[in-house]
Each structure stands twice: as structure tokens, then as C-alpha cells.
Structure 1
Amino acid sequence: MSIRDLARHLNISIGTVSRALNGRSDVNPETRRRVFEAAAAIGYVPNQSGRSLRQGTTNSIGFVVETNSETSLYGDTFFTSVYAGVQQVFARHHLDLIVLLCPFDQDPLEHLRRVVSRRFVDGLFISAIQRRDPRIDHLIESEIPFMALGRSLSGGTHPWIDLDFAGVAHASIHRLVERGHRRIGLVTAGSELNLGYVFADGYREALAAEGLSFDPDLVIRAETSEMGGYDAVDRLLKLPERPTAVLLVNEIMAIGVYRRLHEAGLTPGRDMAVIGFRDSPQSRFLSPPLTCFRIELSGLGRRLAEGLLATMPAYRDQHPIGLVQEIWPMHLVAGESDPPLR
């Protein structure tokens, strides 16, 4: 099916069809809608190689994911679901999503510089955002459209969406205090990921809001993995007065936490309340079931895609939402790992 066939089917000019498919603002919205609906109905797919040569674009967007911290932090299903949401939006514009894995032994900035220099994508998503992230500064200087999954102290007014780490901390502390807990530990990210700092700040603010004092001995920075959770709780158990509850920056850590408690002859939930981060497939198989928080990941992916396209001239008219800087909500999923203090 060619663009000529699509134009003949709609009884409009080839030029009008082309401008509508390319997101040009000089096409009537009703005509654009008809073109996209007809293209989907009759299976028209643009010749991307010829289109790219004419437009000087690739019609591809890259998603940079680091294979060290992030894959352990969120688990595979996090990004798979986000990608699905992104592609739902991109499909309407005949855009392709390319996942760009940054190996654990490569410098993230050098990896990004190589991607940008090759210009094989028209825009980028970046993740594993550092507290001060030089990749953001480089992307701004390179004038390539991008969207960050996570906020940073770098870059000023660039678009981003971050998970509600502070909100999770506040909700968790309030829930634990209502259940009688006063000595509450925190296990946060040991790297320079900004989410760890945001989570720790939210924890301190939540303690103050509940009238509790902050004890730095109860805050453990650890690797975001099963072993990180194991080692963190091992340190908490060695304190002269161990906490009665612990809040984790990610749910994968709970596997190590449960194991270390069992080795110490303690029962998760009964002897130490545990609240994880995300409601993941792993957390559902823990015993007792982990109290954690649900994220609408496909919706997050769609919003990331819309936020990026809003910065790109070819798609801005179709996504007139301005600069996106948003905190993505999370909702409590009550488990059995944080019962009232006996």
C-alpha cells in the first residue's frame, strides 16, 4: 500500500496526506484524523528509509537503560511495561522505540555521547538519573530532544517525570506509626541515584511530621539488590536497639531482608515490620506478602512519550501540553508484612 493509494482512497492530494502524516500544522485537524484512521484501517506504513532521507530524521527514539543499578532496582517487568506504554503513543506517529543498553562497565556519559554523535535517533529517554547528572547538561548542549525518567539537580527546565518516592516515604511512616512503631529504619540506595536522596529526605520529613526524632544509625545506604537488603538488615540487627520496622527503597531488597531475618530466628512482619517499594511479581511470592505500592506503568510510559513529543517541533501541535515536570503517583497495596506492633 503506497501513499498514492492512501490519497486515492481518501480522495485528497498526496501532498495533504504527506503533511498530515508528518504532523504539519497547516493540515486541518479533521483531515489529519481521517488520514490516520484510514492509514490504520488499510494498513498503510510509510517507507521509513525514503522518509528519513527526505526529512533528515530517523523516525526512531532511543531509551537508554543502564544494566547495573536499574535492572536490579526495578526488575525486568518495570521497563517492559513502560516500553509498552511509550509504543502505544509512538505507533500513532509511525515512530520506533529503540532500547539502548549501557553496560555496567561503561561510563554512562561516554555511552550517551556516542549515541548522540551517531545521530541514529531523533530523541532520547534517559533513566538512572544521578543527583547531578552530566548527561542532562550534554543533551541540552547537543540540542537533542530528551525526556528524563527521574529528576536531578542538573539541567534546569528540561522535561522529566519521577516516581513519588517522597510520597511513599510519608505514607509508609504514617502507616507504621499508626500501628505503634516508633523506631523505624530506612534502607536507601547506596549509589548517586537521585531517587535515594529524595527517598531519604522524604523519610526525615515524615518522621518530623509524626513527631519522631531522626536517628542517622537507622539509615543504611546499600546496593539495590537482594544482597543489599540482606547486608542492610544485618547491620540494623547489630544495633544496641534494633528497629521494629524497616522501609526499603525497592522491593527486590525484601528478598534479602526476609532471608537475614529468618537466619536470625526472626519472622518478617511479626518481629520486624517491612514495607517495600513497588508491587512487583517478586513481592507477591514473599511470605508474608509484602506491603508495597502500585504504579500504573503503561500510563507512565504513555506520559513519557507525550512529554517528549511535546518538545519536538514535528509533533508539538498534536501534543500541546508544554513542559512536563511531574511526580507520578503510587498507591498503597496492603500486605501482611507490617502488622501492628505487639
Structure 2
Amino acid sequence: MDFSDIKAAHTRIKPMIKRTPIVSSKRLNQWLSGNLAAGNQHEVFFKAECLQTTGAFKLRGASNFIAKLLESGENPRQFVANSSGNHAQAVAYAARKFGVPATIYAADTISPIKAAATQSYGAELKTFAKRTLADAAVAEASQADGVVWIPPFNHPDIIAGQGTAALEAIEELESVDAVFAPCGGGGLVSGSLVTTRALAPKAQVIGAEPLAANDAAESLRQGTIQYLTDTPKTLADGAATPSVGEHTFPFLQQLDGFYEVSEQQICYWTQWLHHLLKLHIEPTCCMTMSAVAQWLSNQTRPQRVLVILSGGNISSQSMQTIHATDYLAQPPSLIE
């Protein structure tokens, strides 16, 4: 998979997705520029995939997978997928657009709002006590004739679709010094890496994941794919995957940096991005701002930073947990 696949994916899925806006906050830029000489400022730009149809970037990968498959002349009778929520909604929505039934396999911990949306798009939802059981069930279901499994991240066509978000953003911004994205299974940050290397080769590409679900960081430290032994307890449910994949891991190994973020920092940045950007944004992508702040603290020249806001589907239970402590009394800075 290379940048030509991402360009082809972008052309293929244009009729099915929104070109989401880029937003920023002058106040946030001021607060995060405390390490620069007077008159200089960092600029942080946010690609608002929370405003994408189905509320997340995942529609890009699912749409590219299905559209490319049908272009090849295949005629599946059913799609199946395993997901903690956003991929589930994306597959349900895209499958309905193409007139193919879909069944989604998920852990019982799936966000209620994501489960309801998945079913509202017409997919059947089957839940299991653990994510590993859901993964095993979808693998078995995919063996039936005419059934096609759409993986959440571990496929070149999925990665290519996800890379179109960074493509749109970098083309619009024209120049960036760094691109940040959250990492669950690694599809988004992998696609962002390929796009950035092609369009802004001098820019760094950096990932972030919850410390409570740090299989990717452990994999990078060990040099081999590591697996979580149980369903992690993290507010960043979109990054609660048990492992990265054999297609995404080689891209993760090429990243310029990778950060593990505590649950407290996830809550902190979710509150502040909601307040500053006036957008409903998932904890999974809000956590990436912790990585941005840590990275900027080591920069002595003004930086143009792109952050992929991956989604905006949050349950009321998660919102209650996020706001159990008021973090808005402590404005963002480069000292955490």
C-alpha cells in the first residue's frame, strides 16, 4: 500500500463522504506557545472527522473497502465486521448504501450510543463478553460462502481510505511540521503516515494511545506485535483494540514518535477541546492533544501541527465520567 492507493481511494469515496472542515483555537495556540520568543506562536489545526457522516473517520476506510471490492466484480451476499463502535457504524452505513446486509460483532462494552447507531443503519449487532470472543465469532462467520469480512484496520484498502483524511487536510493547509493521530489498531495513523511522507516529507508523524490500552507502545518497544490479555478499561474506547495488525505494525515502526496517555489526561483534554473548539469530540482523539503538548514543549521554533480528530460519538456514561472532575480551572500549557 502506497500513496497512489490513497489518492485512488480519495477519488473513489468522494461521493460517499463529507470533506470535513479544519478548525483551530487562537486561545489554545497562545497557551501552548509559552516556550517561544515573544511574538511567535505555534499553530494547531484540527481535522474535524467528528463531523463526518456516521461521526467518525472510519467511514472512509469502510467505503473504500466496499467500493473497491464491488469494482472488482465481486457480489457478496453479506458483510461482517468486528468493532468497538465507529467501524461498526461505518460498515453498517456503507453496506446499506450498497444494498448489502451487514452483521457486526462486538464486545458487551461497546458504547451504547454507537450500538444504537449501528442498528439504526440497518445492521444486525451481536455482542460478546470479551472482544476476543467477538473477533473469533466474526472469523468463523466469514468462512461462509458469499460472506466478506471487513476488518476495522488491518487491511490495505482500509488503511488507504483512512489516509484520505490527512490528504485533504495537508492539501488545504499546504504546509505542516507534524501530524498527530490516535492509535487503536493503527489504520488511521498508518494512512496518515503514508500521506504525510508523500505530501509533507519533512513533517513528523506521531501517534498516541491510552496508557491503559498500550499494546501498540509495547509492540514498538518489543519489536513484535503484543496483545492485551483482557478488555482494557479506558475512556478512549476507540483505541481499546487488543492488538495492532500485521499490515499496520510496519507503518507504526516508521513513526517519529509515540505517546501513552493517562486517563486523567484523556479527561482533561476532552473537557478543554469541547470548551475551546465547541465540538462534540471523542476521548479517543482528545487524548492526542496530550502528545501534542508534550511534543511542543521540546520545540523552540513555531510549529504548524495537524491533529486528526477521529470521531464524535460519546455515550452519556462516558461524559459523566469525563466531567466528574472539573479540569477547566487549569488552562492548557506546556507544563503537565
Q: Same-fold call, TM > 0.5?
A: no
What TM-score results when the alignment is normalised by the length of structure 1?
A: 0.36
- Flag the structure with more relative contact order, 1 or 2, with Cα contacts below 8 A and sequence separation at least 6: 2
What TM-score results when the alignment is normalised by the length of structure 2?
A: 0.36
